Amino acid sequence: MLNIAVAHRFGPFALDAAFDSAGGLTALFGRSGAGKTTLINAIAGLLRPDRARIVVDGAVLTDTERGIFVPARRRRIGYVFQEGRLFPHLTVRQNLLYGRWFAPPGDRKTGASGEIDDVIELLGVGGLLARRPANLSGGEKQRVAIGRALLARPRLLVMDEPLAALDEARKTEILPYIERLRDRAGVPIVYVSHQVGEVTRLATTMVVLDAGRVAAVGPTAQIMGRIDLFPLTGRAEAGAILATRVAGHDAAFGLTTLRAAAGDLRVPRLDLPVGAALRVRIRARDVMIALSPPEGLSALNVLPGTVVEIAAGDGAIVEMRLDCAGEALVARLTRRSVETLGLEPGRPVYAVIKSIAFDHHAFAGAPPAPGADAETRQG
């Protein structure tokens, strides 16, 4: 449980942001310069804000009104820095164990060595223990940095664009580890990023920052389905998120059927067991709109729904939000098409999505239960 309110000013930049989060992975999303790093530095105690109240799991870490400022080393907030910041003179093992000297003793039932083994296994760093940071790849360094933060038994993990310094291949390698961390470690995470792909894949809650202010807070699917936020979430990559489960595989055609509340989606074969939960991002630009159930069309996915909202404007491109059995879907059309089809709020339509629109960026392991709760509660 996070309750964050920070106001800070240096030079021409003013940060005035507040948000609450129920746990899971909270993404601070925004352009560079939006105040994301300043905000987590204030949370971690690396920055003393002008005015702030920061409460993590009931512990008041900063309250300028009451003159409370817990120093960084007593906050028990694990910080994963963009550049890793591993200690170069220590081995991977020594790096991992650094914070344990100062960590509070753990539960009796989970032995200390058991916990270390768990983290090593979770992050797949078992083969690196004897090595020095200088001999690690960027992805390996970040996994060790995450393990080091985790083994200090933090009450909260903050990650400052941990993938920004990595190339695409390394990112793809490390993302599943962060998903496992979110789902299994039981530590809430605040994750800073300006990459829509990362955020939609990882976040249970999204905080959209714009020029030092919070533009929106909410469950990721809800935020990504808001067309008014498209200028901030990025038009090209913007897309709604559907929570789905694997319903079956079609071996003959190499397809997998995903079941969402909105309907079934057929996508290129996924190597997942039936029943596995999966998040799918459907980019607005991949969605076509039809007035009647289309026939003689190659696209395999047709979801019935209703137009809820059409963004105002006189540009060539128009964004709209659909309601498909309670789930939000967004679409980008030319204004001309909107006029030709006579689209307006309340109008029943069919969203058509090509199966090949689902590339590997579109999928992510489903968030844990708390996130799902939040979505049904607020969404």
Partner 1 sequence: MTTFLSFSPEELTAIRLSMRVAFWAMLGSLPVGVGVALLLSRGRFWGRSLLNAFVHLPLVMPPVVTGYVLLLLFGRRGPLGELLEKSLGIVLAFRWTGAALAGAVMGFPLMVRSIRLSIDSVDRRLEAAAGTLGANALWVFATVTLPLILPGILAGMILSFARALGEFGATITFVSNIPGETETLPLAIYTLTQIPGRDLATLRLTLVAVAISLAALFASEVMIERAARRALGL
Q: Which of 23, 30, 133, 147 binds partner 1 (CB under 8 A)?
A: 133
x/- letters, 53..92, toward partner 1 (CB under 8 A): ------------------xxxxxxxxx-x-x-x-xxxx--
The rounded distance, in Å, linking the Cα atoms of 122 and 132 is: 20
Count other Cβ atoms within 10 Å, centred on residue 155: 16
Please tell me whether residue 149 binds partner 1 under the rule CB under 8 A.
yes
Question: Cβ of residue 167: shortest distance to partner 1, in angstroms?
Answer: 22
29, 233 in Cβ contact below 8 A?
Answer: yes
Least distance from partner 1 to the Cβ atom of residue 53, Å: 20
Least Cα distance to 306 among 263, 349, 340 occurs for: 349
CB 305 within 8 A of CB 350: yes
Interface with partner 1 (CB under 8 A), residue from 135, 334, 340, 376: 135
One residue of 69, 98, 230, 363 binding partner 1 per CB under 8 A:
98
- With respect to partner 1, which residue has the nearer C-beta, 76 or 182? 76
Torsion of CA 289, 292, 296, 297, to 10 degrees: 20
Distance CA 284, CA 196 (A): 13
Among 22, 118, 124, 132, binds partner 1 (CB under 8 A): 132
8 A C-beta contact, residue 371 and residue 205: yes
Residues 26-55 as x/- pattern, contact with partner 1 by CB under 8 A:
------------------xxx---------
Say if residues 207 and 26 touch (Cβ distance below 8 Å): yes
Shorter beta-carbon distance to partner 1: residue 132 or 354: 132
List the one residue out of 313, 298, 277 whose CA is nearest residue 353. Answer: 298
For residues 72 and 175, which CB has a smaller minimum distance to partner 1 in the complex? 72
Q: How far is the CB of 98 from partner 1 (least distance, A)?
A: 5
Q: Closer CB to partner 1, residue 10 or residue 253?
A: 10
Residue with Cβ nearer partner 1 (131 or 259): 131
Output the smallest distance, CB 97 to partner 1, in A.
Answer: 10
Neighbours of 182 (CB within 10 A): 24
* By the rule CB under 8 A, 152 interacts with partner 1: yes
Q: How far is CA 104 from the centre of its chain?
A: 29
Alpha-carbon span 200 to 283, nearest angstrom: 11
Q: Output 101 or 360, the one with its CB closest to partner 1.
A: 101
Pick 97 or 246: Cβ nearer partner 1: 97
Inter-residue contact 88 to 133 (CB < 8 Å) = yes
In the complex, minimum distance from the CB of residue 160 to partner 1, in angstroms, rounded to a whole number? 11
Percent of the chain as helix, strand, coil, to the nearest 5: 30, 35, 35
CA–CA separation, 318 vs 316, rounded Å? 7
Q: For residues 56 and 1, what is the distance between their CA atoms, to the nearest angstrom? A: 6
What tokens appear for 286 in the block? 């991949």
Question: In angstroms, what is the minimal distance from the CB of 148 to partner 1?
Answer: 7
- Is 185 a binder of partner 1 (CB under 8 A)? no
Cβ nearer to partner 1, comparing 74 with 184:
74
The bridge status of strand 239-250 relative to strand 68-69 is: unpaired
Nearer to partner 1, 84 or 365 (CB): 84
Residue span binding partner 1 (CB under 8 A) among the ranges 99-107, 307-315, 327-335, 348-356? 99-107
Binding-site ranges for partner 1 (CB under 8 A): 44-46, 71-79, 81, 83, 85, 87-90, 98-99, 101-103, 132-135, 148-149, 152
